[in-house]
Amino acid sequence: MKIKLIFPGRELEMGKSMLPVMPLAPTLLAALTPPEHELQLIDMFYGDEIDYDADCDLVGITVRTPLAMIAYNIADKFIARGKTVVLGGPHIFAFPQEARQHASAVAIGEAEETWSVILNDVQTGSLKDYYVCGPYKKESLEGSVYHQPKRPDLANLPMMKRDLLPRDRYLMDSVFTTRGCPNFCRFCPVTPIFGPQIRHRPIDEVVAEVDTLRKNYFNVDDSVFGHPQITDRSEENQYYLDLYKELASLQPKRLWSGAGGLSAINYKDGQKIVELAAESGLCSIAAGLESISGAGQKQSGAWRKLHFTSPDAFNVEQMQEDIRIIQELGIEIMGFFVIGWDEDTLETYRRTLDFCDEMQIIPFILTLAPMPGSPIYDEYLEQGRIFTELSWDHYGGDSVVFKHPTMDPKEMFDLNSRVLQEGFSMGRILSRTFHTLRNRPSFGVALNSFFTQLGLRKAFRQRYDRSPHHPKL
């Protein structure tokens, strides 16, 4: 068959403003496709266009919530031309029946156990309505269902098919080593989608794949430091200790980035994991700090991933100390914060920026957007706090999509804009870049930091200056 795999994008994408990263989802799906099929990968995120009239037998589209309307529009155009369309991706997990209205079939969950079944069913004319992988309540689905109740084992996976995209377009390759998250953050759908149990790819397979990558790559794991607080699974910590020893021995050594939890540093094994990760080339992490207040930590559930014993035990001074230790290891920190918890005020935006300034971390300060599939979305929906008249394309950060008990949506939107524009002033960018250079005397790392921040500065200004989704009063 002739197959198109499409990764939708839009003109203004925050990720596009940073160092370009090759997408994982379409390259992994391509790798899972038997070689007798003819594949075309379309990455709209970085400017690829779709030829709707080109010959194809099957179209696969990844659906993320902020791009759901774009994905549905693409699917509708192919359906109108008589093509078979399969939709998958994180948005599908929460709204499979909505997606089914725009597709021949819908894939829920991970693809390793279902993609080959879908391809076979397309060829034999026996395509079902839904293909489900994982412990999903399929009883809620109306139509024919193929269900693999177990999440896939991550051993013996093929390497991503990176040659199907123009590799020079991306400054960073992408790879993954684990799936699953035990944190249950209330605003995040990762735990419901991938499960609380952490699954690992075999170390030798990860190392072999990294050895094929270029000098920079991004690890898309939920936490590249693992979860060293899980003391009843000794193999969890040992996996990372062994993995980073192996990666550190590769020549040439690659520089890499990923998402990481600060509090790993508070555990004996965790501190060693962070040190070895730095030795293996880790130079930057995206850290989900979420809130600088105990009340925000409690409502978000983020205190679990910061490894506090309870939300009442949250200590901002401990967070600051963890940041300093990781920075001294030569790892730059991009701090992700969510503002809009019930006890937050407009002053919370300013105090969060002050915290970032004090700690010399890159500020990624965002107003809460309750994502479908997360507990907080379901809770707010039941309480009538979700602005249901807003379409999914408002969930990309350019709108306030819920009702706060005390803050006005327009005030939240405007203050978020001002804080981020101040946070990415040229003086602050240069200060953070030199701070990174002092901790890791690498001109290449410093340049990456500078141009990433410069890109974010441009993107944030475009987002708030040009947003067509300014919230209604």
Residues 119 and 178 grouped into a single domain: no
CB atoms closer than 10 angstroms to residue 326: 27
Measure the CA–CA gap between 300 and 186, rounded to whole angstroms.
5
Could you tell me if residue 161 is inside a domain? no
Enter the DSSP assignment of 232: T
Q: What is the pLDDT of residues 358-393, one digit of tens each?
A: 999 999 999 999 999 899 999 999 999 999 999 999
Residues 133 and 268 grouped into a single domain: no
Residues 288 and 423 grouped into a single domain: yes
Whether omega for the bond prior to residue 252 falls within 30 degrees of 0, making it cis, is yes
Model confidence at 473: pLDDT above 50: no
Residues 59 and 199 grouped into a single domain: no
Residues 230 and 137 grouped into a single domain: no
Could you tell me if residue 227 is inside a domain? yes
Measure the CA–CA gap between 358 and 189, rounded to whole angstroms.
31
Q: What percent of the chain has pLDDT over 70?
A: 96
Average pLDDT, the chain: 92
Could you tell me if residue 435 is inside a domain? yes
Q: Which parts of 81-191 are beta strand (E)?
A: 84-88, 105-108, 130-133, 145-148, 173-175, 178-179
Residues 63 and 128 grouped into a single domain: yes
Q: What is the pLDDT of residues 71-101, one digit of tens each?
A: 999 999 999 999 999 999 999 999 999 999 9
Q: In the structure, what pLDDT confidence band is assigned to residue 344 with cuts at 50, 70 and 90?
A: very high
Q: What is the CATH number for 253? A: 3.80.30.20
Residues 67 and 177 grouped into a single domain: no
Measure the CA–CA gap between 374 and 65, rounded to whole angstroms.
12
Q: What is the pLDDT of residues 100-136, one digit of tens each?
A: 999 999 999 999 999 999 999 999 999 999 999 999 9
Could you tell me if residue 453 is inside a domain? yes
Could you tell me if residue 163 is inside a domain? no
Chosen domain end from 148, 163, 195: 148
Residues 325 and 212 grouped into a single domain: yes
Residues 139 and 191 grouped into a single domain: no
With contact defined as beta carbons under 8 Å apart, do 149 and 173 qualify?
no
pLDDT of 280 reads: 97
Could you tell me if residue 125 is inside a domain? yes
Per the model's pLDDT, the better-predicted residue between 167 and 106 turns out to be 106
Measure the CA–CA gap between 452 and 457, rounded to whole angstroms.
9
Could you tell me if residue 165 is inside a domain? no
Could you tell me if residue 166 is inside a domain? no
Residues 138 and 176 grouped into a single domain: no
User: What contacts 184, CB < 8 A, 6 or more positions away?
Assistant: 191, 196, 301, 304, 375
Q: In the structure, what pLDDT confidence band is assigned to residue 13 with cuts at 50, 70 and 90?
A: low
pLDDT of 418 reads: 94
Residues 251 and 377 grouped into a single domain: yes
Chosen domain end from 98, 116, 148: 148
Total of domains in the chain: 2
φ and ψ at residue 232, rounded to 5 degrees: -85, 5
What are the residues facing 339 on neighbouring strands? 367
Q: What is the CATH number for 128? A: 3.40.50
**How far, rounded to the nearest angstrom, does the alpha carbon of residue 131 sit from its chain's CA centroid?**
23
Model confidence at 468: pLDDT above 50: no
Q: What predicted TM-score, i.e. pTM, was given to this entire model?
A: 0.92
pLDDT of 46 reads: 86
Q: What is the pLDDT of residues 257-284, one digit of tens each?
A: 999 989 899 888 899 999 999 999 999 9
Model confidence at 23: pLDDT above 80: yes
pLDDT of 232 reads: 65
Domain that holds residue 64: 2-148
Q: What is the pLDDT of residues 319-339, one digit of tens each?
A: 999 999 999 999 999 999 999
User: What contacts 333, CB < 8 A, 6 or more positions away?
Assistant: 262, 284, 285, 287, 323, 326, 327, 359, 361, 362
Residues 242 and 113 grouped into a single domain: no
Chosen domain end from 84, 113, 148: 148
